[in-house]
Amino acid sequence: MDLIKVKNEGTVTISSLFTETLTVDDVLEVIGFGKFQWKISLLTGLSWLGDAMEMMILSILGPQLHCEWRLHSYEVALLTSVVFVGMGIGSPVWGKLCDKYGRKVCLVICMCWTLYYGLMSTFAPVYGWLLVLRGLAGFGVGGAPQAVTLYSEFLPVKARGMCIMLIAVLWSSWPCLVMPTLGWKWLLILSALPMAIFVCFCFWLPESPRFDLLTGRREKAMATLARIAKDNGKVLPQGKITVCKQNDRGQIKDLFTPQYWRTTLLLWFIWFANAFSYYGIVLLTTELLQAEDSCGEDKIGSSCSLECKYLTSADYKDLLWTTLAEFPGIFIILLAVEYIGRKKSLALSFFMFSLFALPLCACIGRTTLTIFIFIARAFISGGFQAVYVYTPEVYPTENRALAMGTSSAIARVGAMITPFVAQVLLGSSVSSALLVYCCCAVLAGIASLILPIETLGRALQESHPGPEARGQTSSTTT
């Protein structure tokens, strides 16, 4: 008989005499959502907030430096794209490392990396240095989606969709309040604050018990589950936990097995379209608000590439309103993913985004323009969070982090391209730029509907269900 000692709570007995077979999901369902999940929500939410803030400042930093440093429009676009280049390179790297060495250690390292280079960006003396430092910061931010991977592996099935989406309801609107008073350097410094808090408290963060079981560290996994039960005031269920054990983890080829190749390709396009459309509407907001006084195809393209306009207090106010659109958007899709499923929720997000983005090329007035941007951004931000729910649910533990990393990398390709549409093509033809976004979103909506797997109510998969996986089963008793 094996024993696990729980501090101040006596002894939890682990017996192999019981014949009932349990999964980690079964154990988490019994333990439920409680104090432990609230704490890990806060901690992983801080790392997610660091990513959100790094992204939000892009729409404000570009116009500001365009004026202060007299940058050309292509230099402003490149300043945005270089962050996404770094993220595109970093995302699959961090994903592979998370599947190989663990979620916790890699998440902590990538947050330390991002914190360091994010702070160094504030001391950049010239454009070239800022470009390099922002790219290095982007490489670290590429690991931020692994916070979702780790977080999802601690959640009961029924709470997973809601909880993953709710950690996205973070305070991304604050840059609109900082910039008018403190300037872009303070904006960069304060954007690093959530990551600094995360690094200070990361010692509390446990490793995923799913990963520990998959790598043969049974005692550590059981200790983590006992810790969760203790925090939530519950008792571990009695039974036998089984897990399919694989020798190789984090292999790209596993994303293209007969069961997953269609899902992988469709998801990659959905991630691409989501980032392309989301960051597109973020960047379009400042461009369209600054062009409020004129109408027609030449309302943006008539100016010189060196001509600049500082964002006014009215611009910041409307930016704040459009940023706040993410809150109702996430709550709408939150209800949708739990009632109509993940696939239909993604499709709804893309179709509604297209419906409200297309009229932005018309002369509709500043108030109507702000409302349409608000609604379009609400739906595409909700769709972005829905795909963060779906992706870790559809892939098994052995390559869940890699799937998140590669999907995020594809998304960064879309984000890297979008500044040249939202800030360069827009200068030539407003309607052409908006048509590109709408067509891409419609195609992504169709791709969402034809995804092979619906994950609503589905337990997280521990291993590929192939013959080789079924033949290698190891069990841990509780």
> Does residue 8 fall inside a structural domain?
no
> Does residue 7 fall inside a structural domain?
no
Handedness of CA 356, 362, 367, 370 (dihedral sign): positive
Q: Which two tokens stand for residue 382?
A: 């909700």
pLDDT digits (tens, 9 = 90+) for 197-241: 899 998 899 999 988 888 888 888 888 988 999 998 888 887 676
Tokens 């977080």, located at residue:
151
Helix pair angle (35-56, 127-141), 10° resolution: 150
CA distances to 63, 285, 349 from 372, rounded to whole Å, are: 22, 11, 14
Residue 464 to residue 394: CA distance in whole angstroms: 11
Query: pTM above the 0.85 mark?
Result: no
Q: 454: domain CATH number?
A: 1.20.1250.20
Domain count along the chain: 1
Residue 48 contacts residue 54 (beta carbons within 8 Å): no
> Does residue 6 fall inside a structural domain?
no
Using DSSP's 3-state secondary structure scheme, residue 281 falls into helix
> Does residue 289 fall inside a structural domain?
yes
Q: What is the mean pLDDT of residues 261-275?
A: 95
- CA–centroid distance for 343 within its chain: 17
pLDDT digits (tens, 9 = 90+) for 85-136: 888 899 899 998 998 888 999 999 999 999 999 888 888 888 889 889 989 9
> Does residue 429 fall inside a structural domain?
yes
pLDDT digits (tens, 9 = 90+) for 440-478: 999 999 999 999 999 888 878 776 554 333 333 333 333
How large is the C-alpha radius of gyration of the chain?
23
pLDDT reported for residue 302 = 45
Domain that holds residue 340: 14-477
Using DSSP's 3-state secondary structure scheme, residue 89 falls into helix
> Does residue 4 fall inside a structural domain?
no
pLDDT reported for residue 116 = 92
Q: Which two tokens stand for residue 435?
A: 């048509």
Q: Which residue has the higher pLDDT, 159 or 353?
A: 353
The residues, ordered by sequence, that sit 6+ positions from 231 with a Cβ below 8 Å of its Cβ are 34, 35, 36, 39
DSSP sequence for 310-347: PPPHHHHHHHHHHHTTHHHHHHHHHHHHHHT-HHHHHH
